[in-house]
């Protein structure tokens, strides 16, 4: 298999662990293992005493129960645990796509959601684009229907969306499912940011509502535990999960026991962790809005419906990739240029999930003053 570079990961590989001011991150503030274990009485001792042998390929049974508990219609058997969300996307696309198929991907999207399709010979790919409507991002369902062909096999969506912060309402999700049902399509629903919606309306998971849907979840984003690398697929389609597990045998085989232990501790306190991260995002929105209000000639701000990312527009007369390069090289402020998403405008991603966002914005302001006299 030949597959193109993952542009975002290549860019982050260069700066993520050297730039001191991270303003582009898509995960929420993390914590130490000790802090997490302290939330659950007796957990630290149990963690230290655990056996470090192989674990079950499907995932720790208690962890699968806890994940199933996040859904309305899922049981342990409907959950397959993966080494992060990335492994699950790669497995799903490999298992599903064959030469001659066609898939539709919401766009922009996490690159692996559509790059595997590009690597399968004679596999068609169409993008269902989010549109910049001035204040924020929106999507058109008539456009989606116009992209469906007789050979279309699946639709891959990412809502809440990275990088735009766009989120389906529950009515929009129902409309999507109705369209998939009408055309008998599979639905891959990447919901890794679920739980960070800012309008207070809890969103339904796709897999609860549609038999041919897979919902993708992870501990990395909304829970802020990216380093434990625990993700999962949930689906009513047990045959499909069975195909995925057989693909997983060729990848990680099974997940890390210590990570699964930490994921269980986190999910037992999931609501608390989500509220903690939503409140960091709300505070950061206030700080960022004040920053943007001081620089209306530089940025066109897009509303985010869900944390922790937004995709704003640069108004300066220069390539956005150059603006981002200068910011990181001169001031150590990491922003993510929309180029990595092949965006059709001068957009850049900003992350609102980290506590130190204010310091990063102060450095960015310094950069604007020194570099552009703004």
Q: What mask of x and - would describe binding to ligand PLP in positions 352 to 371, judged by CB under 6 A? A: --------------------
Instruction: Closer to ligand PLP by CB, 8 or 324: give it.
Output: 8
CB of 156 to ligand PLP, least distance (A): 10
Collapsed DSSP state (helix, strand, coil) of residue 117: helix
DSSP state of 353: -
| Binding of residue 281 to ligand PLP (CB under 6 A) | no
Distance CA 364, CA 374 (A): 11
Angle subtended at Cα 133 by Cα 164 and Cα 316, rounded to the nearest 5 degrees = 75
Q: Are 127 and 107 contacting, i.e. CB atoms less than 8 angstroms apart? A: yes
| Binding of residue 305 to ligand PLP (CB under 6 A) | no
CB of 160 to ligand PLP, least distance (A): 8
Stretch that binds ligand PLP, among 40-48, 78-86, 287-295, 349-357 (CB under 6 A): 78-86
CB atoms within 10 A of CB 55: 20
CA 289 to each of CA 193, 283, 304: distance values in angstroms, whole numbers, following the listed order: 22, 10, 12
Q: Are 145 and 284 contacting, i.e. CB atoms less than 8 angstroms apart? A: no
| Binding of residue 28 to ligand PLP (CB under 6 A) | no
| Binding of residue 222 to ligand PLP (CB under 6 A) | no
| Binding of residue 307 to ligand PLP (CB under 6 A) | no
| Binding of residue 218 to ligand PLP (CB under 6 A) | yes
Q: Are 309 and 158 contacting, i.e. CB atoms less than 8 angstroms apart? A: no
Stretch that binds ligand PLP, among 80-88, 203-211, 256-264, 291-299 (CB under 6 A): 80-88
Stretch that binds ligand PLP, among 13-21, 218-226, 252-260, 298-306 (CB under 6 A): 218-226
Among 12, 19, 22, 26, binds ligand PLP (CB under 6 A): 26
Distance CA 302, CA 305 (A): 10
Among 58, 64, 80, 86, binds ligand PLP (CB under 6 A): 86
Q: What mask of x and - would describe binding to ligand PLP in positions 167 to 196, judged by CB under 6 A? A: -----------------------x-x----
Instruction: Closer to ligand PLP by CB, 114 or 323: give it.
Output: 114
Q: Would you list the DSSP string of 150-174?
A: TTEEEEEEESS-TTT-----HHHHH
CB atoms within 10 A of CB 257: 17
CB of 216 to ligand PLP, least distance (A): 7
Q: Are 346 and 320 contacting, i.e. CB atoms less than 8 angstroms apart? A: yes
Binding site for ligand PLP (CB under 6 A): 26, 84-86, 110, 158, 162, 190, 192, 218, 220, 226, 231
């Amino acid at each position: 298999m030949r597959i193109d570079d993952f542009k975002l990961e290549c860019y982050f590989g260069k700066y993520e662990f050297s730039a001191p001011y991270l303003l582009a991150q898509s995960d929420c503030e993390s914590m130490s293992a000790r802090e997490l274990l302290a939330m659950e009485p007796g957990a630290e001792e149990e963690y230290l005493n655990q056996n470090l042998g192989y674990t079950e390929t499907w995932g720790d049974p208690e962890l699968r129960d806890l994940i199933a508990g996040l859904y309305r219609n899922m049981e342990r058997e409907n959950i397959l645990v993966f080494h992060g969300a990335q492994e699950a996307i790669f497995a799903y696309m490999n298992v599903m796509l064959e030469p001659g198929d066609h898939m539709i991907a919401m766009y922009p999207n996490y690159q692996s959601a559509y790059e595997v399709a590009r690597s399968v010979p004679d596999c068609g790919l169409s993008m269902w684009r989010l549109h910049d409507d001035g204040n924020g991002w929106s999507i058109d369902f008539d456009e989606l229907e116009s992209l469906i062909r007789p050979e279309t096999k699946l639709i891959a969506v990412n809502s809440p969306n990275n990088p735009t912060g766009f989120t389906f309402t529950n009515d929009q999700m129902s409309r999507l499912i109705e369209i998939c049902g009408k055309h008998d399509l599979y639905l891959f629903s990447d919901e890794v940011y679920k739980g960070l919606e800012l309008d207070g309306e809890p969103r339904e998971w796709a897999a609860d509502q549609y038999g041919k849907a897979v919902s993708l979840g992870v501990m990395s984003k909304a829970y802020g535990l990216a380093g434990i690398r625990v993700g999962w697929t949930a689906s009513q389609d047990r045959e499909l999960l069975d195909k995925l597990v057989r693909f997983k045998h060729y990848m990680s085989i099974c997940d890390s026991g210590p990570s699964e232990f930490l994921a269980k501790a986190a999910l037992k306190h999931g609501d608390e962790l989500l509220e903690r991260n939503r409140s960091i995002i709300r505070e950061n929105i206030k700080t960022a809005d004040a920053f943007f209000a001081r620089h209306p000639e530089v940025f066109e701000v897009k509303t985010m419906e869900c944390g922790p990312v937004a995709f704003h527009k640069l108004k300066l007369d220069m390539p956005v990739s150059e603006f981002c390069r200068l910011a990181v090289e001169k001031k150590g402020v990491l922003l993510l240029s929309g180029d990595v998403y092949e965006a059709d405008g001068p957009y850049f991603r900003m992350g609102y999930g980290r506590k130190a966002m204010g310091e990063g914005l102060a450095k960015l302001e310094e950069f604007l003053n020194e570099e552009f006299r703004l």
